[in-house]
Structure 1
Amino acid sequence: MKQHFDEKEVLHELKHYLPAQAPLMDFVHHNTLHAFQHISFHEALHTANEKLGYQVYLSLEEFRKLFDQGRIDEKILLRILEDKKGINASNWKNKLLFGQYDANFEPRVGRLRGLWKKQYGIDLDSLIHPNLFRIVGGFLDQGISIWNFPLENLSFLEAIKKLESNSFSSLFRSKSTKNLLFTTELSIEFLLKKLVGSNSALYEQYLFDQQFAHQGWSGMVSTVEDLPQSLLDSRKISLEELIQFELILEIDSLNYLLGEENWKALENNLIDKLVPFNAEIEPSELMEVLSIWQEAFEWTFYDQVLAGIQFNNPNVFKSQNKSFQGLFCIDDRECSLRRHLESLDPNCETFGTPGFFGVEFFYQPVGGKFLTKLCPAPVTPKYLIKELGDGKEREKDLHFSKHNHNFYTGWIMSQTLGFWSAIKLFVNIFRPGMSPATASSLRHIDKFSNLKIDFDELETQQNHLQVGFKIEEMANRVEALLKSIGLVEHFADIVYVVGHGASSVNNPHYAAYDCGACSGRAGSVNARVVSQMANKPEVRAILKERGINIPETTLFVGALHDTTRDEVVFYDEEITNSIYKQQHESQILTFKTALDNNAKERSRRFESIDTTLDSAEIHDKILLRSVSLFEPRPELNHATNALCLVGKRELSKGLFLDRRSFLNSFDFKVDPEGKYLLNILNAAAPVCGGINLEYYFSRVDQEKLGAGTKLPHNVMGLFGVANGIDGDLRPGLPAQMTEVHDPIRLLLMVEHYPQVVLDTIQKNPATYEWFINEWVVLVAIDPETRKTYLFKKGQFEEYIPLNTQIEVVKDIDKLIESHQENFPVYLFNQA
């Protein structure tokens, strides 16, 4: 235990462990346990369980039930036990199946501060949290509050001091406590000495106990401190100020309830020696048993996938004359749409790539006050793309106006428009429809507006950003995009670039349904931008010099796939030739049928829809579902994600993967040295891995790592959700997004020679960490033999699947009508 208290060091440590979820507007998936990513996966989970009390695996009872149901293969379990336990495998099998363990324990966090309750019977959390959350929420508010906090560009604590100086009432019950706020000696150490005593070795433990009693609010403050731009209306606040204010509130409550002379610092109440928060973790047989079950659960599925890849021999159409080509996001929700398109039109060709399509920029819509980031969260763009239009105001509704927050206008509106609003709400129950309250992916950009993508020397800078791209910069990005997916020849007449977004109503987590590669926004602008770049003759001239000859006859067309409504909007204003229009109209019909079929496939997860109905009829029900005010599950987003495949489409084209796979196109022949592969893995590991792990941890611990059920959620200041008006902010995902999810790590498969993959991942330590510590399971697939090699302990070893055959299905429609649960891997469309 530390004997000296270093405030900066402890604050840094706290920020490292606290949730790092951004505000709702920028809800981008990430590894919930990012603080432990520097150690191996199972060690990290044991540590998080012991220190913070997180549930990190399914329960022992759940694993045993999965085994009884056959969802954990006994052959796989025995292989893992033999690998890990050798001659003791049978003994450990008995422990897994019949062992009895006490799962109840007290985590390290909370033990010291809990003495207030044990010694004095005082629950500081219930006394302080309601007021603390309301004050912090009011300070961070982004538009819900009727009265604005007296900011005047002040920091949080400065604003509190101003309130106390100018108000008749006080936030504190004791005058002496209020005086603490204005003392020149005010510091965390000064306040802890009053609460804990002179034993500074206890200070760090106390702060962890305090802040993890409301990890959601503390995590939000920490995020806003580090990234003030994450709030549109920025605020000056720090974790240090939050802690100082909360410590003063604690002293104030103790003074009020017990009297200033009638309580002693906590060090006087210590009976048993506390285990330091960062002390070494002792081995736990229960955690080891759970880790073995977890691997058996994962490899039961992985083994089917790897066997399926080896047995797969799809009936692939080999013609160089493609009816059309489509570039889609690698998103697992596009996996099934691509399959349906290819089934309807064997002459088409589809590709997968991160949905920002390699063009990183901020975006300013017509009339937009703020800039929107449209690229992966870690990337800081240097470019600005502006929407050009007629300046007409977008759709408005008087029901959604801040005028109804005022005393007089609010009363008038409630007596007039209020009655009409009640009628509209009643009608909407039976006939849901789009409204200004709907988060619609189509509103991100006007279909008929123009974009300023060309660099203009007369308008070089705005907000320190370059407006538009230079021709060379455009060519670099289009080249990187096309070479990374292996599309360097045999271009179709029309190449569709299809971004994605989602529409929903009454859904605070709407950004989590959009494109993660676009920082939680729809990918429509990116699709249009890269299409316009690729259509420029000057760009194509540069690309030709670099070995990519795009014919003059090829036209790139941007589009947006709304994954909730299963609709596609084409930004097809550039199609003027009558022959191209005919082709496009024919392909629109193909998309329409594929979207109907996709809606049918999605519907099998929804209790309220009969999946045996006709596809078009089901699609109509899906459209209603997307705008229903009372629908907590407009779609299941990334639920059940489990795989990421980096390779040619032929590798998985004959596999039915049940919408569980991220598909990133890649051709090892175009990239023999792994140059573009490095960029792919630098994105795939944190993005796909982050999505996977946030679903994993939100599923296994819905209360601490997930957001619980969304039904009691209340939006706080437009930046987070809490249960009711006084609850802690809920990080992670709501149960309605994770309840059908199987919590298994991402299996990332790369079609390239193992040595090239090994050399590639070692070039970036941040990417390598994901694989060497097994947060993502990595497999290399030899492109010539299709043998699979598992990355383990720093090297690749051949993995021979235990599954010796994979069932072939003839009719996928009948398959998806059979049940709601996850399917095993099937083969279809085999030659």
Structure 2
Amino acid sequence: MNGTSTLPEQRKLQKENLTPDSHNLDLSDLAKSASRVIAPLWPIATFAARNPWMGLENQSFEQVARWLKDTRDVEIYPSSSVIHAAQNQGEIDEDLLEIGLQRWLDLQSIDLPREEAERYCRAALSLDELPSDLLVASEIKRVAEKLSEQELQTTEKHSQQTLSLLLEQQGGERVAHALDHHLIKWCKLFLDESQAAWSLPNREKGFYGAWRRLVPYDPALTHTQRKRLKDWPQEANFALKEALSALEIPQSKIQDYLEAHLLSLPGWAGMMLWRSQQSSQESSLLIEYLAVRISLEWVLIKPHFPLPEKKVKNKETLVPLIAAWTHWGDLPIESWSQLSSTEQRARLDLAYRFDEIVRRKIWLEAWEQTYSDQLSEIVQSKKIETEEVEPTLAQFTFCIDVRSEPFRRQLEKAGPFETYGMAGFFGLPIEISELGSGHTHPSLPVILKPQQKVKEFSPEFEFKQYQQRRQGANSLSYTFKTMKQNLLTSLLLPEVSGPWLSLQMLARSFVPRSTGRAFRKFREAWLRKPSTELSLDHTHTLETELPVGFSEEEKANYVRQALKLMGLTSDFAPLVVICGHGSHSTNNPYAASLDCGACGGASGGFNARVLATLCNLPKVREILATEGILIPEDTVFAAAEHVTTLDELHWLYVPELSETAQEAFDRIQSTMQKVSQDANEARLSQLPNLNSRSKNPKSEAQRLAEDWSEVRPEWGLAGNAAFVVGRRELTKECNLGGRVFLHNYDWQDDEDGAMLANIIAGPGTVSQWINLQYYASTVAPHYYGSGNKATQTVTAGLGVMQGNASDLLAGLPWQSVMQSDQEVYHAPLRLLVVIEAPREYVERLLNHDPALRQKVQNGWLRLATIDPEGYWENWSNEII
């Protein structure tokens, strides 16, 4: 095909290259299958941690690592610098490294003496780079030239890259870069969430429809390019077929080609995927995105047809292998000629197999096993309490969030308190509507769908007054935004608002803690939110809407389920506190990610209040009593929120207390200041540039929360490494370093294993998503992270970009995972799931949960168990 071929000629070529039924090819199915390589991306205001490889778990971690390296040059094993830093800090047991090496060698069949293979591999495990002078040495190139005719036992790589990227790699024009630039522009315009003053025309016709109508007038394209698109198909599906045909993509390669394009801008493509899953009206959005992208690609590369074929000479592959033996195998280059062809092939084969990915894999597994052994030692060496303890006054249920673990430990030290852990939505699949808000939002993990709606309400007279005050504040904010975006009023706005905004800027910059507190008190004083109640009783709604409230049976079911999941069905204390968690920060696009890593930015306080209120209902207690769950009459449930940025407990719902409950409440209040102080002191010591300051920890925490220039108000869930499912006695008084998700579970109350299965499928999956989100943002920050917070641009109300023409950045910022520009804070370890239960419980779980079995077998998470005798067992792929 040459550069002057016409569309009819291209259609003829399609008929010749593709099978007879190619015109009936369902591209929608292929696009859906191709979407496995990306993950849905939520808007940043409802940030939810996501596993970027959720659609690839049917392959091993190593296979995906090789595929990404080959396709996009993305590394997903930790870099050598990260590994060496962990080694220097004693986080990797080098005996385990040797075990890993021997295990790998045992699986190989190489015609070399074992001692020589071991010597070479141990040297290569140093992870130092091959000297550049070796790679260009003429002697090595001459040897490679002689050996290039020999057969080398290698696996041929079958990567699929876009034609625009191949053209760019071969020294052509920056077509791939230009294509990305065009797509970013159109995506920003179409997906804009009311941030732009002028919206994209024809948005109601969909992404492809709007683009199709406007692209003939796009000044960024040449006249010839616009002319070629003028008569392009009206439907996205036909346009995509036309473009693939014009690019001569064989039918057998179409899915691979679509995958390559989705991987080019995984952020924008992920947002399109998420939108396509939210409503039937936009279900075709992903194929529209591909139609626009590949149509533009054809237009941009058409002048360069026919494209040159990519050729890789065998000798170019051999040079680094020979250099590796010279550097690590202590084999001088002149000695190659003295080896037989069989000996040469054996050495080249070993060097090819023991590549950098294998070496990093062995290091990572040793690092992960070292952490597992350390956690096992901490748990198993714990001292058993023998002294008489004071009767429990209060019991607290926290979210499994890793930030709860240090706070729980300080709380348990402060008095006769017990703590429990469960998923922070407390088993309530609800959508919530706060007082005065015309919107509702789900308050549960994004992997679930809400089943009921709960509203906040107050007496009619008080509500109307509050609503008027709230609308006044919202109107002021809306007017300011409108004036700022309007062409004429934006010229006047600085004159009007300049003095006030200048004072605000100075105050927030120099006295952020006092300013933030003053603004918050002013807003609260102005709004004067009245006391509210919750719509817990079921009311009829339209069939298309979620029911409001719960039936009596549902109330009892949700309370029963929550109490069983938290392991609290007897021995109730006088006061039981359900604790949600949230965060507080200023001028932070990632605020939602600190509120909750799983629930789309919804803090757990509202759910905690709903559950506590349900637990106090006499009718619910009567139903539970008939089932053996006896809640004493003087036991009262309350709700609070753990503010993770401040390590404070804010009370949300405290009903009338019994005498014993009041005693417990007073005791909590008297100790909470010390608990907060100690928790803040330990937490702030982990933040860079703060551990040497002699400031009051509480004041410093408040400053971090209110300072609008602060890029790291807290570490969030950085450092997470394990998910422990077991009794609190297992980990109580253990310093787990804020790295462990803690979920209560007692196998003796779970005869059929259903509770364990629910924990692993729900909170376990969410924990894995969080873990891999942090992992990916650490090992490949340029691709899966979001770069430096200081240079980010909030875009279209959706997310952040670096500059004005980057991908929509899907991961965490540099400051959420890095201690400094050179030193990581988050250790990139795949999640370790530890289950306290007999071996047969875990075997049954794996037999009934193929998804979990697949994750463990393919290396996406690790599994360990603690049996009733206290024996710790690591489950390897071979065991499963």
Is the TM-score greater than 0.5?
yes
**AA at the equivalent of 1:173:** H
Shift of 1:378: 1.5
Shift of 1:519: 3.2
Tell me which residue corresponds to 2:665: 584
CA distance in 2, matches of 1:144, 1:768: 44
CA contact (8 A) 1:453 1:529 kept: no
CA contact (8 A) 1:164 1:170 kept: no
Tell me which residue corresponds to 1:96: 125
**1:280-359 pair list within 5 angstroms:** 283=353, 285-315=355-385, 321-345=391-415, 347-359=416-428
Shift of 1:321: 3.0
Shift of 1:481: 1.4
Per-residue displacement from partner, 1:702-746 (whole Å, max 9, x unpaired)?
101222222211111111211111111112111111111011111
Per-residue displacement from partner, 1:229-279 (whole Å, max 9, x unpaired)?
9xxxx9676122222223343444457xx5xxxx4243xx3253899xxxx
Tell me which residue corresponds to 1:365: 434
User: Which residue of 55, 75, 81 maps to 1:55?
Assistant: 75
Distance change (3 Å), C-alpha of 1:56 and 1:162: closer
Tell me which residue corresponds to 2:717: 638
Tell me which residue corresponds to 1:824: none
Residue 423 (structure 1) aligned with residue 503 (structure 2): yes
Q: Over aligned residue pairs, what C-alpha RMSD do you find? A: 3.3
User: Which residue of 292, 298, 305 maps to 1:264?
Assistant: 305
SS of the aligned residue for 1:488 comes to coil
CA contact (8 A) 2:37 2:262 kept: no
User: Which residue of 470, 484, 487 maps to 1:407?
Assistant: 487
Tell me which residue corresponds to 1:733: 812
Between 1:753-762 and 1:292-301, the stretch displaced more is: 753-762
Per-residue displacement from partner, 1:515-566 (whole Å, max 9, x unpaired)?
2343331001100000011111111111111221001111110111111122
User: Which residue of 188, 207, 219 maps to 1:137?
Assistant: 188
**AA at the equivalent of 2:124:** K
CA distance in 2, matches of 1:17, 1:343: 47
Distance change (3 Å), C-alpha of 1:182 and 1:677: closer
Tell me which residue corresponds to 1:774: 859
Tell me which residue corresponds to 2:13: none
Tell me which residue corresponds to 2:850: 765
**AA at the equivalent of 2:30:** V
Tell me which residue corresponds to 1:714: 793
**AA at the equivalent of 2:355:** E
Per-residue displacement from partner, 1:413-440 (whole Å, max 9, x unpaired)?
32111331122112210111438999xx
**AA at the equivalent of 1:297:** W
Q: Give the aligned length.
A: 766
CA contact (8 A) 2:35 2:262 kept: no
**AA at the equivalent of 2:866:** I
Distance change (3 Å), C-alpha of 1:273 and 1:93: closer
Tell me which residue corresponds to 1:694: 773
Tell me which residue corresponds to 1:80: 100
Between 1:382-391 and 1:739-748, the stretch displaced more is: 382-391
Residue 71 (structure 1) aligned with residue 91 (structure 2): yes
Shift of 1:213: 2.6
Residue 191 (structure 1) aligned with residue 243 (structure 2): yes
User: Which residue of 382, 393, 403 maps to 2:451?
Assistant: 382
Tell me which residue corresponds to 2:637: 556
Distance change (3 Å), C-alpha of 1:415 and 1:582: farther
Residue 602 (structure 1) aligned with residue 683 (structure 2): yes
Residue 593 (structure 1) aligned with residue 674 (structure 2): yes
SS of the aligned residue for 2:376 comes to helix
Tell me which residue corresponds to 2:223: 173
Shift of 1:215: 2.2
Tell me which residue corresponds to 1:747: 832
Structure 2: gaps spanning 5 or more residues: 1-16, 107-113, 136-155, 315-351, 819-824
Tell me which residue corresponds to 1:542: 623
How does the TM-score come out when normalised to structure 1? 0.85
Distance change (3 Å), C-alpha of 1:497 and 1:794: farther
Between 1:83-92 and 1:511-520, the stretch displaced more is: 83-92
CA distance in 2, matches of 1:168, 1:603: 52
**1:218-233 pair list within 5 angstroms:** 218-228=269-279
**AA at the equivalent of 1:603:** L
SS of the aligned residue for 1:157 comes to helix
**AA at the equivalent of 2:560:** E
Shift of 1:610: 3.9
Residue 41 (structure 1) aligned with residue 61 (structure 2): yes
**AA at the equivalent of 1:108:** S
CA contact (8 A) 1:156 1:236 kept: no
**AA at the equivalent of 2:861:** V
CA distance in 2, matches of 1:448, 1:651: 43
CA contact (8 A) 2:44 2:592 kept: yes
Distance change (3 Å), C-alpha of 1:608 and 1:57: same
Select the structure that is richer in helix: 2
CA contact (8 A) 2:420 2:728 kept: yes
Distance change (3 Å), C-alpha of 1:156 and 1:44: closer
Structure 1: gaps spanning 5 or more residues: 276-281, 797-831
Between 1:679-688 and 1:525-534, the stretch displaced more is: 679-688
CA distance in 2, matches of 1:237, 1:98: 46
Tell me which residue corresponds to 2:874: 790
**AA at the equivalent of 1:454:** L
Shift of 1:153: 2.9
Per-residue displacement from partner, 1:761-812 (whole Å, max 9, x unpaired)?
33222333333333221111112x100122223647xxxxxxxxxxxxxxxx
* Fraction of identical pairs, as percent: 26
SS of the aligned residue for 2:164 comes to coil
CA distance in 2, matches of 1:94, 1:183: 60
Per-residue displacement from partner, 1:343-372 (whole Å, max 9, x unpaired)?
111x11000110001111111122323321
Shift of 1:198: 7.0
SS of the aligned residue for 2:650 comes to strand
Tell me which residue corresponds to 1:505: 586
Tell me which residue corresponds to 1:492: 573
CA distance in 1, matches of 2:440, 2:222: 40
Between 1:47-56 and 1:657-666, the stretch displaced more is: 47-56
Residue 19 (structure 1) aligned with residue 101 (structure 2): no
CA distance in 2, matches of 1:137, 1:143: 11
CA contact (8 A) 2:846 2:852 kept: yes
SS of the aligned residue for 1:498 comes to strand
CA distance in 1, matches of 2:556, 2:196: 47
Distance change (3 Å), C-alpha of 1:177 and 1:8: same
SS of the aligned residue for 1:217 comes to helix
**1:654-669 pair list within 5 angstroms:** 654-669=733-748
**AA at the equivalent of 2:653:** D
CA distance in 2, matches of 1:630, 1:410: 25
CA contact (8 A) 2:635 2:658 kept: no
Between 1:391-400 and 1:424-433, the stretch displaced more is: 391-400
CA distance in 2, matches of 1:430, 1:721: 27
How does the TM-score come out when normalised to structure 2? 0.80
Distance change (3 Å), C-alpha of 1:673 and 1:210: closer
CA distance in 2, matches of 1:252, 1:99: 44
SS of the aligned residue for 2:289 comes to helix
**AA at the equivalent of 1:287:** I
Per-residue displacement from partner, 1:546-603 (whole Å, max 9, x unpaired)?
2210011111101111111222211234135576445423312322221111111111
Shift of 1:120: 7.8
SS of the aligned residue for 2:420 comes to strand
SS of the aligned residue for 1:516 comes to coil
CA contact (8 A) 2:582 2:596 kept: yes
Between 1:82-91 and 1:237-246, the stretch displaced more is: 82-91
**1:404-483 pair list within 5 angstroms:** 404=483, 405-432=485-512, 433-434=515-516, 449-457=531-539, 459-461=540-542, 463-483=544-564
